[in-house]
Amino acid sequence: MAADGAWIGRSLRRVEDPRHLTGTASFVDDIRRPGVLALAFTRSAQAAARVAGLETEAARGTDGVRAVLTAADLGDVEPLVPRLDRPDFVAVELPLLARDRVRHVGEPLAMVVADTPHAAEDGAERVVVDYEPGRAVSSIEAAVADDAPRVHDGGNVLLDTAFHDDPALDELLEDAALVLEESFASARLSAVPLEGRACLAEWDDRDQRLTLWTSTQVPHLVRTTVAALLRLPEHRLRVIAPDVGGGFGQKCVVAREEALTCIAARRLGAPVKWVEDRQESLVAGFQGHEQRFHIRAGFDDEGRLLGLAADILCDVGAYSTHPFTCGVEPLMAATELLGPYAVRHYRARARAVATNKSPMAPYRGVSRPQMVLAMERLLQKAAMRLDVDPVEIRRRNLILPDAFPWTGPAGLVIDRGSYHEALETCAEALDIDAFRERQSAAREDGRLLGLGLACFAERSGYGTEAFNQRKMTVTPGYETAVARMDPSGGVTVYVGTSGHGQGHLTTLAQVAADQLGVDPAQVEVRQSDTDATPYGWGTFASRSMVVGGGATKRATLALAARIRRLAAHLLEAAPEDIELREGRAVVRGSPERGLSFADVGRVAYLEAQRLPPDQDPGLECQASFDPPGTFSNATHGCVVEIDRETGAVAIERYVVVEDCGVMINPAIVEGQVRGGVAQGIAAALYEELVYTEEGQLQTASLMDYLVPTAAEIPAVEILHLETPSEFSETGAKGMGEGGTMGAPACVASAVADAVAHLGIEIDRLPIRPDDVLAALHAAERKEGSGAR
Amino acid sequence: MKPAPFEYHRVERTEDALERLAELGDEAKILAGGQSLVPMMNFRLVRPPALVDISRIPDLRYVERDGDCLRVGALTLHREVEQLDDPALIRGYELLPRSARWVGHYPIRTRGTFGGSVAHADPSAEWCMLAVLLDATVVVSGPQGEREIPAADFFLGFFTTAMEPGELLVEVRFPRPRPHAALQEFARRHGDFAIVAAAVAVDVDGDRMTDARIVIGGVDEIPLRVTDAEAVLEGAEPGAEAFAEAGRAAGAAVEPSADIHGSAEYRKELTAVLVRRALAEAVGGEGGDGG
């Protein structure tokens, strides 16, 4: 038996780094195929319009253009109909190409295939669209107004779920010592992966097969979906995700463009490549996080949150996306709003509201950045009203250490974590008492300092049952791994997860290495190719290390057992006496009696006559894992200063205390935390997709959509706690989204803390300097008039 | 984000550039560092049928001192301005290297050119503001030879200058040192064009300020001189009170329009704050970076 833990827990350098640092990585656009043609889309310039005519003649006549395809040319290709099997859900068709009606700016209307990307764009802009513009719905408020124009004929509410009811709640909200009624709002965001979406499709006449290289997080799901749309048996479609430049959820759903690129390649009999540019990515890429929370909450006089009723609205854009649908944000918000707080009485209504904007897809954090904002600001407001210390009010409400597993009022079970310890550790790191002194001294000088906190639970690694509760038509959850030793003794692990920046080639090899007693450098991890890997759900929802890592551990443990059995037979020892270490199978206590993995591999494949009678040739094991899910936890804390003359917020310190159970590779964990915090700070202070009332995007370039640079992001101090999960094979918990979940609330509560004494509330993201300044002036005016 | 078709011509002498521009007609564009033109072409916001690439003309890339006067060749890179540190060359013009750090990001500064930025005439571009602030002369070369245009007459509107088609900007000439000068900008994100930028210069004579010049970017179609605010400083004693009053006067004088990055009111307020801060930095004389 290998000593577990020899490689798990080490900050090994990432296997993926050299390719990125030396430019040898291969993204979709780097893949060269002979005779490749370029695809560009003509996209709707209108948010809501009837398409009275589509004139393609000029486009067809453009130099270098080979073909122009519109909805009329697609024949009987069906639309996608993303669906949840529940009565409160309204399914709407998502046409691959719009035919007679467009519902958002950027909706694809025609595809132009040409010799070069330049010629394809020349052609795409010559497709003449005759729009009869209608009234657009460009905000949640407009969508639910009584006389709202309809995005779809059935109305604008695509999911209206009443989540849990509690008859005791109404009385409680009447009688509580403190009842707060508050609203919170967050802006629409783009995930802005460094690499936009991209596809290359090639039909092989000899094999009668199609290959699709696509920048995706979910290659098997793309295969299943696109094969059905193309009416191909799945075994005749191979989907490969080569190096993928980030996804953050934007690439965990199936894009119209993936199917369309395949259709173009089949029609033209040539490889066809589409590479989304940045403008296209901002305009037509999937979006998310635009939500409104309206909350009524009752507290006792010591700040204990007794009960809470929430009304949640999510702007899901013009369509559902497959497979998670427009239900993903509202269902997540309603299910998990309470987070790590021990609240007994709860009710939520959550709605998915359609607008004339690009569709929503799950974006890192999915509703939890907004939920954490709502809960943390709520506690902060209550603390202020009741004159309770902000740390103390959290202490009084966090699930107590002896209460795990905690079953929330809606039945959600939270496994053991270090919620209180994380809070205390963070408070200590920030030295809050010293900060308060500094804050009041600064206030005397007219400076505004604030300290913010955010505590949260990060649900991760959930399996089939959790997804089944959403009633999806395809139910993700499990993962399968295949571990194979080859004749030379090398080990390859094939997984259905699909890393795209998370370092899985490194971390899964660390997991495998510990089971097999080899150096991780001896373990090759293969992913992201449907021809090579077992069916799996890909990489999203902080699932890969728990679920894929669990399957990897199980498959490599099974392989280790087979290696030991074969070695025992060859060494004439009992299998339980064989241990695997340093790439050898040796008899315990007599290290001179042993075989190298190369010897074992050679017998298994090349000298089958030496195998035990009951053992098949080869060395290959497959195993699956399908856990119920496990919660990471963290407390974020930060200190900010507001420039009271410009309204600008500067983050002086940022501390994360996180607990993701057993860390497979601490350096990678910290990288995930830093990146997540950066995206969370972006949501707190900078990024916002701004639409006009007509549904036109005003932030369609990185000059206007303010992705922060390294100069805006502070150093992040990270402290670790470790509560191993009982529900994962390795003790690890997923943690890929936590940074994004905590940072918006943490920054908002720090800004709010800086201006609380002026009566200013910070309940809307992003926090813009002009808004801050206007609020400061309004407070000054109020004070002035009060004095009179 | 691919440009519409265009012809590309590269020249290595100023005379060849002028000749080629004359042949190609009014629609042809000059390509220098390409840091504004190329993105605009990629967005298809501009569609020049032809480009004349002047970036390899060797004799337009210099910074020279000529007595009081500082001459900056059109093809001098932002980064080269940033790195100017020879006191004999830049004494009294320290504002130029100090301001370069506000110009875009490092990669942009290593390709973008001084003359290109001035010719592009973005009203919040640093070199355009400093040209007006420091009373520069813009030297352009054309079919009829060279002519000199005072910066005050050079900028006509958004991306619009007094240059005629067929002309090439060859030099920007600053007439006299102004050691008490500073630039302050506010943007939400490092390296962006300022929402508002304020450039100031004063002479300090004993305990009086004279010859004040205040130029605001981001509030008008051109780098805007605010003479009302300048007048406040004339003969005033340097100090917080005068700086604040000049700031208020500047804020009251500008009439900015709103966009998604800030309302008109916000821009007026920023104007007041930045003018005050810039004056404090300028007269402080330490040349501190102001932040």
CA-wise closest residue to A318 among A198, A149, A197: A149
Tokens of A151: 């995005």
Nearest by CB: A686 against B43, B188, B269: B188
What's the rounded Cα separation, in Å, for the pair A43 and A258? Answer: 15
Q: Do B186 and A711 touch (CB under 8 A)?
A: no
Tokens of A735: 């943690």
Q: Any bridge partners for residue B182, and if so which?
A: B200
Q: Do B43 and A769 touch (CB under 8 A)?
A: no
Tokens of A650: 């500067």
Contact B218/A at CB under 8 A: no
Query: What residues of chain A lie within 8 A of the CB of B1, using their CB?
Result: 121, 277-280
CA distances from A13 to A520, A672, A736 (A): 11, 15, 18
CA-wise closest residue to A554 among A517, A511, A524: A511
β B155-157/B160-161 pair status? antiparallel
Contact A753, A380 (CB under 8 A): yes
What pLDDT, on the 0 to 100 scale, is given for residue A337?
Answer: 97
Nearest CA in chain B to A698: B260
What's the rounded Cα separation, in Å, for the pair A580 and A3? Answer: 9
Q: Which residues of A touch B (CB under 8 A)?
A: 63, 117-118, 121-122, 125, 277-280, 645-648, 685-686, 690, 698-699, 701, 703-704, 706, 708-709, 711-712, 768-770, 773-774
Q: Do A125 and B44 touch (CB under 8 A)?
A: yes
What pLDDT, on the 0 to 100 scale, is given for residue B289?
Answer: 38
Contact B189/A at CB under 8 A: yes
State the nearest Cα–Cα gap between A29 and chain B, in angstroms. Answer: 15
What pLDDT, on the 0 to 100 scale, is given for residue A781?
Answer: 92
Contact B44/A at CB under 8 A: yes
Q: H-helix or E-strand containing A298?
A: strand A291-299
What pLDDT, on the 0 to 100 scale, is given for residue A1?
Answer: 36
Query: What residues of chain B lie within 8 A of the CB of A645, using their CB?
Result: 269, 273
What's the rounded Cα separation, in Å, for the pair A310 and A294? Answer: 6
Q: What is the layout of strands, in order, in the sheet containing A272-275?
A: A65-70, A108-114, A37-43, A272-275, A198-204, A209-214, A237-240
Q: Is B278 helix (H, G, I), strand (E, B) or coil?
A: helix
Tokens of B125: 């571009």
Nearest CA in chain A to B4: A122
What's the rounded Cα separation, in Å, for the pair A82 and A545? Answer: 28
What's the rounded Cα separation, in Å, for the pair A691 and A532? Answer: 43
Tokens of A113: 């295939």
CA-wise closest residue to A10 among A663, A730, A597, A478: A663
What pLDDT, on the 0 to 100 scale, is given for residue A402?
Answer: 96
- Tell me the helix, strand and coil percentages in chain A, rounded to 5: 35, 25, 40
Q: Any bridge partners for residue A579, and if so which?
A: A586
Query: What residues of chain A lie within 8 A of the CB of B3, using their CB?
Result: 118
Rg (alpha carbons) of chain A, rounded to whole number: 28
pLDDT at B74 over 70: yes
Tokens of A147: 């006389």
Burial (Cβ within 10 Å: 0-12, 13-18, ≥19) of residue B157: exposed
End-to-end CA distance of chain A: 81
Q: For tokens 């499990």, what's the residue?
A: A478
Q: How far is CA A636 from the centre of its chain?
A: 19
Of the ranges A634-643, B43-52, B280-289, which one carries the lowest mean pLDDT score?
A: B280-289
Q: Do A712 and B270 touch (CB under 8 A)?
A: no
State the nearest Cα–Cα gap between B80 and chain A, in angstroms. Answer: 22
Contact A509, A555 (CB under 8 A): no
Q: Do A279 and B43 touch (CB under 8 A)?
A: yes
Query: What residues of chain A lie within 8 A of the CB of B291, using their CB?
Result: none
β A578-581/A49-55 pair status? unpaired
Query: What residues of chain B lie within 8 A of the CB of A711, using their CB?
Result: 189-191
Q: For tokens 């060749």, what's the residue?
A: B73
Contact A94, A326 (CB under 8 A): no
State the nearest Cα–Cα gap between B39 and chain A, in angstroms. Answer: 11
pLDDT in tens, B163-222: 999 999 999 999 999 999 999 999 999 999 999 999 999 999 999 999 999 999 999 999
Rounded to the nearest 10°, the torsion over CA A135, A136, A141, A145 is 30
Contact B94, B100 (CB under 8 A): no
Number of neighbours of residue A531 by Cβ within 10 angstroms: 12
Over B194-227, what HEC string results?
A: CCEEEEEEEEEECCEEEEEEEEEECCCCCCEECH
The beta-carbon contacts of A578-582 under 8 Å, at least 24 apart in sequence, are A579/A1, A579/A2, A579/A517, A580/A1, A580/A2, A580/A516, A580/A517, A580/A518, A581/A2, A581/A3, A581/A517, A582/A517, A582/A518, A582/A519
What pLDDT, on the 0 to 100 scale, is given for residue A4?
Answer: 52
Q: For tokens 């600053």, what's the residue?
A: B174
Contact A539, A509 (CB under 8 A): no
Tokens of B12: 């290595």
pLDDT in tens, A740-773: 999 999 999 999 999 999 999 999 999 999 999 9
Contact A494, A534 (CB under 8 A): yes
Return the number of CB contacts < 8 Å for A and B.
59
Nearest by CB: A708 against B43, B189, B265: B189
- Which residue ranges of chain A lie beneath pLDDT 70? 1-5, 786-788
What's the rounded Cα separation, in Å, for the pair A497 and A122? Answer: 39
Render A336-361 in DSSP notation, one character per residue: HTTTTB---EEEEEEEEEE-SSPPB-
Q: Is A240 helix (H, G, I), strand (E, B) or coil?
A: strand
CA-wise closest residue to B1 among A121, A261, A190: A121
What's the rounded Cα separation, in Å, for the pair A567 and A561? Answer: 10
Residue A709 DSSP class = -
Nearest CA in chain A to B271: A646
Render B48-117 in DSSP notation, one character per residue: -SEEEE-TT-GGG--EEEETTEEEEETT-BHHHHHT---HHHHTT-THHHHHHTTSS-HHHHTT-BHHHH
Tokens of B248: 């208020």
Nearest CA in chain B to A117: B2
Rg (alpha carbons) of chain B, rounded to whole number: 19
Q: Do B192 and A703 touch (CB under 8 A)?
A: yes
> Angle at which helices A419-430 and A390-397 pack, to 10 degrees?
170
Return all residues near A745 (Cβ < 8 A) that are at least 6 apart: A369, A372, A373, A375, A376, A377, A452, A454, A456, A636
State the nearest Cα–Cα gap between A701 and chain B, in angstroms. Answer: 10
Q: Do B260 and A703 touch (CB under 8 A)?
A: no
CA-wise closest residue to A50 among A128, A103, A111: A103
End-to-end CA distance of chain B: 35
Q: Do A646 and B191 touch (CB under 8 A)?
A: no
